[in-house]
């Protein structure tokens, strides 16, 4: 029954009770009914008010939850974009790493060849140059794959050796040393003029000669008949000659692979 109909029903009952002679029991029952109705109406009003408050709170919570969901969806979309960008960057880095690995492998092969050729060239180097390069030569591997140095250090070692060897080959070098000559068993002090890497001439108190590199080291030959020519060449290199002039000197050619030409 609706509340308005119920209210009319009660009013009607009260009217009937008051209009007709009623017994005390009927009057008490009517009053009790009215009180119950009033209590029920009050309880319903309280429930309605409480529900309205809860309804507003729920609507606010729903709004907050919707905003949070929207924010999370935006963050998720941004995260997916970042992941996509990260995947692309990672793919590019992997490609670069593969390219660097291939280039490093090619460089290692080239270095092994250069290191082997420099090691084979070592006995052919002039004595003063070899003494200068011995600390650098110690960094070369004793065999293929035996180097403990990094790729960059190996490259610097090879480049350093090549640069110094080339520099020596481009100039005339005059040194003095004590050695046993081919035509004597006594060590004497001689002056040696190196013409690059391929030829040298020595001049001593009583003799002279020339040398050239060989597979096991330098080969020296006495040439006393060329003593004055060698002395003249050394004088011109020192700047002691009065006038520059051409000097005839013996030359020994080695046409084998790796030899002087």
Cα–Cα distance measured from residue 176 to residue 189, given in angstroms and rounded to the nearest whole number: 7
pLDDT for position 15: 54
pLDDT for position 127: 93
pLDDT for position 86: 74
Cα–Cα distance measured from residue 213 to residue 173, given in angstroms and rounded to the nearest whole number: 15
Encoded tokens for 149:
């140095």
pLDDT for position 259: 47
Contact 194, 200 (CB under 8 A): yes
Encoded tokens for 190:
């001689």
**C-alpha triplet 248, 249, 250: angle, nearest 5°:** 130
Neighbours of 176 (CB within 10 A): 11
pLDDT for position 258: 47
Mean pLDDT of successive 10-residue stretches along the chain, which has 261 residues: 50 51 66 71 68 69 79 77 74 75 82 90 93 92 73 90 94 89 80 93 90 90 90 84 64 56 39
pLDDT for position 243: 56
pLDDT for position 1: 46
pLDDT for position 255: 56
Question: How many CA atoms, within 13 angstroms, populate the side-chain half-sphere of residue 138?
Answer: 4
- Please provide the DSSP assignment of 108-147 as one string: HHHHHHHHHHHHHHGGGS-HHHHHHHHHHHTTS-SSTT--
Contact 14, 34 (CB under 8 A): yes
Contact 200, 215 (CB under 8 A): no
Q: What is the 3-state secondary structure (H, E, C) of 196-224?
A: CCCEEEEECCCCEEEEEEECCEEEEEECH
* Strand ordering across the sheet containing 208-214: 172-180, 187-195, 199-203, 208-214, 217-222
Q: Rounded to two decimals, what is the model's pTM?
A: 0.58
pLDDT for position 94: 74
Cα–Cα distance measured from residue 213 to residue 259, given in angstroms and rounded to the nearest whole number: 7
Contact 201, 249 (CB under 8 A): yes
CA distances from 204 to 2, 234, 242 (A): 141, 12, 21
């Amino acid at each position: 029954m609706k509340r308005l109909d119920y209210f009319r029903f009660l009013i009607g009952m009260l009217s009937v009770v008051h209009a007709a002679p009623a017994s005390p029991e009927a009057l008490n029952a009517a009053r009790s009914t009215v009180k119950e109705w009033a209590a029920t109406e009050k309880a319903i009003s309280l429930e309605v008010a409480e529900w309205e408050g809860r309804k507003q709170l729920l609507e606010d919570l729903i709004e907050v939850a919707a905003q949070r969901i929207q924010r999370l969806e935006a963050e998720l979309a941004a995260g997916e974009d970042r992941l996509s960008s990260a995947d692309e960057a990672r793919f590019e880095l992997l490609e670069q790493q593969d390219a660097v690995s291939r280039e490093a492998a090619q460089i290692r092969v080239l270095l092994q060849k250069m290191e082997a050729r420099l090691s084979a060239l070592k006995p052919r180097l002039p004595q003063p140059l070899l003494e200068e390069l011995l600390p650098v030569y110690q960094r070369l591997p004793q065999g293929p794959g035996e180097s403990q140095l990094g790729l960059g250090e190996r490259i610097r070692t090879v480049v350093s050796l090549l640069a110094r060897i080339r520099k020596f080959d481009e100039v005339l070098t005059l040194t003095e040393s004590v050695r046993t000559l081919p035509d004597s068993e006594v060590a004497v002090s001689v002056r040696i003029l190196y013409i690059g890497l391929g030829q040298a001439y020595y001049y001593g108190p009583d003799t002279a000669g020339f040398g050239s590199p060989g597979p096991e080291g330098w080969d020296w030959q006495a040439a006393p008949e060329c003593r004055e020519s060698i002395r003249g060449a050394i004088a011109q290199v020192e700047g002691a000659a009065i006038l520059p002039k051409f000097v005839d000197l013996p030359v020994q050619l080695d046409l084998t692979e790796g030899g002087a030409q």
